[in-house]
């Protein structure tokens, strides 16, 4: 059973525990969501729903300090990054508020013969969102924002260590004026989630989390013929083929690895460097990776805070030690202190090692040498994951050639941290399927109804 409680990773102190919902409370929540969908999605307009979402964006901006402080306590994100997450979430809501009507406008179809035909987009019903702890507000925004504008209603099951932020989000939807049942936070157990997915009134599920969680949810959803969107793990490559500023490229690589304390699915985790640049890059990268010691996330200027929990730190430590035992060479590594996990850099990782195929969810980087472009692409694709990727090159033709060959849902060229509300997010292979953000984010749980009129 999930235990919903805030355990501050910085201090280890426990906050209040939030009671897991009873079965009868969840039954009532589904009924309320179904009733809300029957009402507001069919009687209200897209413009009216967009106005409510815009108010949610405004409330994020009005309450940004308090919201940021919550997630620093819940999962250790440095305060400046927490504020940035709140701001980005607000921008996502505003994006769908601004563009919802145009995204959902009727789409005319050219036909042969008399009459006309068009596609009308409409909502499907009650959706279940299962969200992770690493970006408590952002993950919800990219799921709830487009779907509420569309007219779907939301049951939101957050990670058990994020009960305070999930309650704060629900309150914003209430304060924005959403009708009862349109957005509900639920403190549910895994068994209860399986029951909810099977409920015929729940029409779809979106999960961001581990491969294991995604497989479990997809299995239940498949048995009950429910659509799912899955954003799972990633072991994103950063490929360096050429640069006219190695120091700037190294800075980008460090940022791409250590943002959010290294706990991002789409972080750069495997660094694949052309042979001629390898030693120089490795020396500078290792030095800059370890210059920032983990510190109190509330202190100004902290770039690296604690990992999200003691369990997360212990698991990463075991994974790192196992890689070393199997033959990886340590280029740089500090000493873990509880949840405080300093950055580490490895080299000489081979395909026979676990580390070559695993995701390191924390500030651990693997640096590979590639003899040429083809070898770099082969290394980049030698992973079960396919979420994002990063490519650094000064050759425009090479950029397009390599980007076409990378097996990932996203390729970012000559930069990191380039996400924005209009850019679709999602992966391939074991990183999941479906897309969030951008135009595609409002197209996942939609009825594209054909209306054909013969005059």
Q: Are 243 and 253 spatial neighbours (Cβ–Cβ below 8 Å)?
A: no
Judging by beta carbons within 10 Å of its beta carbon (0-12, 13-18, 19+), is residue 122 exposed, middle or buried?
middle
What is the rounded distance in angstroms from the CA atom of residue 390 to the CA atom of residue 267?
9
State residue 44's pLDDT score: 82
Q: Is 4-232+431-453 in CATH node 3.40.630.30?
A: no
State residue 212's pLDDT score: 92
State residue 130's pLDDT score: 98
Pick the CATH number of 236-420 from 2.120.10.80, 3.40.309.10, 1.20.120.850, 3.30.70.1060: 3.40.309.10
State residue 41's pLDDT score: 80
What is the rounded distance in angstroms from the CA atom of residue 416 to the CA atom of residue 258?
11
State residue 36's pLDDT score: 96
Question: Residue 431's closest CA among 242, 269, 224?
Answer: 269
CA dihedral sign, ordered 313, 294, 410, 274: negative
Residue found by looking up tokens 């989630």 in the block: 193
Walk across the sheet containing 116-123 and list its strands: 107-108, 116-123, 446-453
Structure tokens of 55? 């108010």
Q: Are 73 and 15 spatial neighbours (Cβ–Cβ below 8 Å)?
A: yes
Which of the residues are catalytic?
Answer: 231, 265
Please spell the DSSP secondary structure of 162-215, one letter per residue.
-HHHHHHHHHHHHHHTPPTTSEEE----HHHHHHHHHSTTEEEEEEES-HHHHH
Question: Residue 316's closest CA among 342, 285, 347, 351?
Answer: 342
pTM comes to 0.96
State residue 1's pLDDT score: 46
- Length of the chain measured in residues: 455
Q: Indicate the pairing of strand 390-392 with strand 412-413.
A: parallel
CA distances from 279 to 283, 284, 292, 369, 400 (A): 6, 9, 22, 9, 26
What is the rounded distance in angstroms from the CA atom of residue 402 to the CA atom of residue 390?
11
State residue 72's pLDDT score: 98
Taking the domains of the chain in order of start, what are their residue ranges? 4-232+431-453, 236-420
Judging by beta carbons within 10 Å of its beta carbon (0-12, 13-18, 19+), is residue 224 exposed, middle or buried?
middle
State residue 232's pLDDT score: 95
State residue 53's pLDDT score: 98
Structure tokens of 75? 């999962």
Q: Are 21 and 188 spatial neighbours (Cβ–Cβ below 8 Å)?
A: yes
Domain 4-232+431-453 and domain 236-420, same fold? Reply is no
State residue 289's pLDDT score: 96
Mean per-residue pLDDT pooled into runs of 10, the chain (455 residues): 86 92 97 94 89 98 98 97 98 98 97 94 97 97 98 97 97 97 96 96 96 95 97 96 98 97 96 98 97 94 96 97 97 95 97 96 98 98 97 98 98 97 97 97 97 92
What is the rounded distance in angstroms from the CA atom of residue 51 to the CA atom of residue 248?
42
What is the rounded distance in angstroms from the CA atom of residue 180 to the CA atom of residue 173?
10
Q: Are 8 and 73 spatial neighbours (Cβ–Cβ below 8 Å)?
A: yes
Dihedral Cα 152, 120, 424, 393, nearest 10 deg? 180
Which long-range contacts (C-beta less than 8 Å, at least 24 apart) are formed by 320-328?
320/344, 320/346, 320/360, 320/364, 322/354, 322/355, 323/349, 323/353, 323/354, 323/355, 326/352, 326/353, 326/354, 326/355, 327/353, 328/353, 328/355, 328/366
State residue 2's pLDDT score: 66
Structure tokens of 392? 């650094």
Q: Are 212 and 188 spatial neighbours (Cβ–Cβ below 8 Å)?
A: no
Q: Indicate the pairing of strand 126-130 with strand 268-274.
A: unpaired
């Amino acid at each position: 059973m999930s235990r919903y409680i805030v355990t501050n990773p910085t201090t280890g102190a426990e906050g209040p525990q939030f009671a897991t919902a009873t079965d009868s409370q969840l039954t009532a929540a589904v009924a309320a969501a179904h009733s809300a969908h029957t009402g507001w999605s069919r009687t209200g307009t897209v413009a009216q729903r967009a106005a409510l979402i815009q108010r949610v964006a405004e409330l994020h901006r009005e309450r940004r300090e308090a919201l940021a402080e919550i997630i620093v306590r819940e999962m250790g994100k440095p305060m400046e990054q927490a504020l940035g997450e709140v701001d980005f979430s607000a921008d996502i809501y505003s994006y769908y508020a601004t563009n919802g009507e145009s995204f959902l406008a009727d789409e005319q179809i050219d036909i042969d013969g008399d009459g006309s035909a068009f596609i009308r987009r409409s909502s499907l019903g009650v959706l279940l969102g299962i969200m992770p702890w690493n970006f408590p507000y952002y993950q919800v925004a990219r799921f709830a924002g487009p779907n509420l504008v569309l007219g779907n209603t939301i049951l939101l099951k957050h990670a058990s260590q994020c009960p305070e932020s999930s309650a704060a989000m629900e309150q914003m939807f209430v304060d924005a004026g959403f009708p009862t049942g349109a957005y509900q936070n639920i403190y549910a157990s895994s068994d209860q989630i399986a029951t909810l997915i099977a409920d015929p009134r729940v029409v779809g599920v979106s999960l961001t989390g581990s491969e294991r969680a995604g497989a479990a949810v997809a299995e239940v959803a498949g048995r009950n013929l429910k659509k799912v969107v899955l954003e799972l793990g990633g072991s994103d490559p950063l490929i360096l083929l050429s640069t006219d500023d190695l120091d700037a490229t190294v800075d980008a690589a460090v940022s791409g690895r250590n943002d959010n304390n290294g706990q991002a699915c789409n972080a750069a985790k495997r660094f694949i460097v052309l042979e001629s640049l390898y030693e120089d890059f490795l020396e500078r990268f290792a030095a800059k990776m370890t210059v920032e010691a983990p510190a109190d996330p509330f202190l100004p200027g902290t770039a690296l805070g604690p990992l999200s929990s003691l369990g997360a730190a212990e698991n990463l430590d075991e994974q790192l030690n196992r890689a070393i035992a199997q033959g990886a060479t340590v280029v740089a590594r500090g000493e873990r202190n509880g949840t405080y996990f300093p950055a580490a850099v490895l080299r000489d990782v081979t395909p026979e090692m676990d580390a070559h195929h695993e995701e390191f969810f924390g500030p651990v980087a693997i640096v590979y040498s590639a003899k040429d472009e083809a070898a770099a692409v082969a290394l980049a694709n030698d992973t079960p994951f396919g979420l994002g990727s990063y490519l650094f090159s000064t050759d425009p033709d090479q950029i397009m050639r390599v980007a076409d060959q990378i097996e990932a849902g996203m390729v970012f060229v000559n930069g990191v941290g380039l996400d924005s509300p209009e850019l679709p997010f999602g992966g391939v292979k074991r990183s999941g399927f479906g897309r969030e953000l951008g135009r595609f984010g409002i197209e996942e749980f939609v009825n594209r109804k054909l209306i054909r009129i013969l005059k």
